[in-house]
């Protein structure tokens, strides 16, 4: 099973600098974020070794959330070599998440 990295203000830039990375901006109190978590984990395991999946808690890391213009959660940001290629706000189903990841590969 793939490991989902937990990022913070200090580790974010280095973690997204290379390769395909999907970052889930979330908060512990957010209902849709809780619904998204198992879907995110399942897709992460399917792309193990190909794509890095990471989460960042917006309550603990406001600077990164603001820098990425995260206004609502959950927000998923899809990066390739540090450049934002796609983003989606709100909980999405497995098929939608996989199709957005596949578009980066």
Q: Which residues are catalytic?
A: 30, 33
Helix ranges restricted to H, 1-105: 12-16, 31-46, 62-67, 94-102
Burial class (CB in 10 A: 0-12, 13-18, 19+), 43: buried
């Amino acid at each position: 099973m793939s490991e989902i990295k937990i990022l913070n203000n200090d580790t974010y830039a280095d973690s997204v600098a290379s390769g395909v990375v999907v970052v889930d901006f979330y908060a512990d109190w957010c209902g849709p974020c809780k619904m998204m978590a198992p879907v995110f984990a399942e897709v992460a395991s399917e792309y193990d070794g190909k794509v890095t999946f990471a989460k960042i808690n917006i309550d603990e890391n406001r600077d990164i959330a603001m820098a990425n213009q995260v206004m609502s959660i959950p927000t998923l940001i899809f990066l390739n070599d540090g450049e934002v290629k796609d983003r989606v706000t709100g909980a999405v189903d497995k098929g939608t998440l996989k199709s957005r990841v596949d578009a980066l590969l």
